[in-house]
Amino acid sequence: MFIALVLFVVLYGFLSAAIVHQLDDERFKYRENFVWAVFQVQRQFLVVQRDIEAAIGRFGLSDDVVDRVLLEYEILVSRVYLLRDGDGFEVLFTVPEVAETIKQLELQIDKIDAALATITDPEEKLSALYRLLVPMNDSLQQAVVRTTNFVSIYNANNISVVKTDIQILSYLFFVGVIVMAVLATFMIRQRQKIFAADMAAQKARQEQEVIEEAADYAKMHALGTLAGGVAHEINTPAQYIQNNLEFLSDSFADLVGSIDRKNPDEPARLNLDKDKIDFITEEVPMAIDESIQGLNRIAEIVRGIRKFAHPTTDAVEPISITEEIDTAVTLTRNQVKHIADLDVVMQSDVTEVSGRRNHLSQALINLIVNASQAIRETGQRRGRIDLLVTSDEDNVYIRLRDNGAGVPENIRERIFDYFFTTKERGVGTGQGLPICRKLIQDDFNGDLTLSADYIDGAEFVIRLPKPDQNAATDTNVDLLEGPSDLNSLLR
């Protein structure tokens, strides 16, 4: 816009200068007074006639007098030629009488020059000059009159054109002022918009920082809330690993104590009952297998905690839906298993989306914990939580349903508002659902909504856009062949 304003100012200055130049160079090009110019020719003509008349009647005509008369005649000739060839007098030749008079003067001057060249007597020269000039008197008089009329008409037309040009210049000035005012207003508004956009961007950055800090806090709060359950989940396999190790230690002590070495040169003999040997043979492998399973279980829980607690980067990368669900299910198992049955069903072949790591599992943990709390508040003995993954041409949908009391109609519009909560003071802060929705929107370009037509409790739907097919990498579908893979985590 600044360039446009500069171009307009330059164009406006150019047009204004052009009109002023036109007024100066064209409308006032013929500043010479045409009447005065023709009158000067006539005046010089009369001066020559008068000097000739005075000289002829004088006694004793001298050469000085003749030379002065001839000089006056030369001045007349020069004025005629100046009128014919001078700058600015071309327009006079559009007047027929003037053009004809100048032509006759030229012819007559040629005759006079030819006649004077053959005469030597001064008095005869003056007489011949006078005789040849007399016929031009009437023509000059008529040329002066016609020039006066022409100048009057010419000046009237010229003044009209000048007035028109001045009006155009005035209109151009006012239009220029208006256009520059409009452009200035537009530029001011553009600057205001840019300033507002900068402020909005700064506000958005600040909001994003607040959201990220709140998300980190929510993540740590969730870990703190789930810590007891996770500790119990780890304690259970650790307990039977300890019991199995104690059994293995006792069995090994029994075996060592039953070794009989009476003769060092003979092979050792095992002094143990057959029933005891059969028991050890059967139970020791089972104890070892159970211990290995327990260690794997502990490792799985630790991996889930490590994935969830790992600092989130700003990089958008392919995120495995199954791994995020696995982490959420692992960390919430102890809190859910005494309240409801959690079933995971995968009905989509899309296993990856583009987003930021850990944020999907964080949203799922929050939704699963909320669902378990909703079921517990109903007082029912055993509830149900379903996690269903489907997809269409453009999106992947993760639906989390529970058969709790549902969301009352009067608060459905407020559940995603910050700091709105139905829990008691100190139990909830009202940031879980808003933060989850913000994470899904900002980090996955998706959305988190509450289904309006689900009547058996509550259904929250996470919509995740599918990754670009051209940029998508091949994924291993064997990560999750069916619902049994994740359901096995719940047993």
Same domain, 467 and 329: yes
Q: Can you say whether the dihedral through the CA atoms of 419, 425, 428, 433 is positive or negative?
A: negative
Answer yes or no: is 264 within a domain.
Answer: no
Domain that holds residue 36: 2-185
Residue 11's CATH number: 1.20.120
Answer yes or no: is 483 within a domain.
Answer: yes
pLDDT of res. 474: 42
Tell the residue number behind the tokens 């997809």, with chain if given: 391
Same domain, 181 and 323: no
Answer yes or no: is 262 within a domain.
Answer: no
How many domains in the chain?
2
pTM of the model: 0.45
Contact between 132 and 115 (Cβ < 8 Å): yes
* Strand 458-465 to 383-391 pairing: unpaired
Answer yes or no: is 304 within a domain.
Answer: no
Q: Facing residues of 28 across strands?
A: none
Between the two ends of the chain, the Cα-to-Cα distance in Å is 68
pLDDT of res. 308: 61
Same domain, 339 and 487: yes
Answer yes or no: is 302 within a domain.
Answer: no
Contact between 99 and 93 (Cβ < 8 Å): yes
Dist. CA 34–CA 102, nearest whole Å: 14
pLDDT of res. 460: 93
Answer yes or no: is 193 within a domain.
Answer: no
Answer yes or no: is 430 within a domain.
Answer: yes
Q: Residue-wise pLDDT tens for the chain (491 aa)?
A: 567 667 767 776 777 777 666 665 544 444 446 777 788 888 888 888 888 888 876 656 777 888 888 898 899 888 888 878 877 677 777 778 778 888 888 888 888 888 888 888 888 888 888 888 888 888 788 878 887 877 777 777 777 776 777 777 777 777 777 877 887 788 788 888 898 888 888 887 777 666 666 656 665 665 565 556 666 667 777 777 888 788 788 778 877 777 776 767 767 777 777 777 778 888 888 888 878 877 877 777 776 666 665 555 567 888 889 988 988 888 888 778 888 999 999 988 888 898 887 788 888 988 998 888 888 888 888 899 999 999 998 899 999 999 888 888 888 888 887 666 766 554 444 457 888 888 888 888 999 999 888 888 889 999 999 887 434 444 443 433 443 343 433 33
Answer yes or no: is 233 within a domain.
Answer: no
Domain boundary among 185, 201, 235: 185
Domain boundary among 185, 216, 243: 185
pLDDT of res. 213: 64
- Phi/psi region, residue 447 (left: phi>0; alpha: psi -120 to 50; beta: rest), is beta
Domain boundary among 125, 153, 185: 185
Residue 433's CATH number: 3.30.565.10
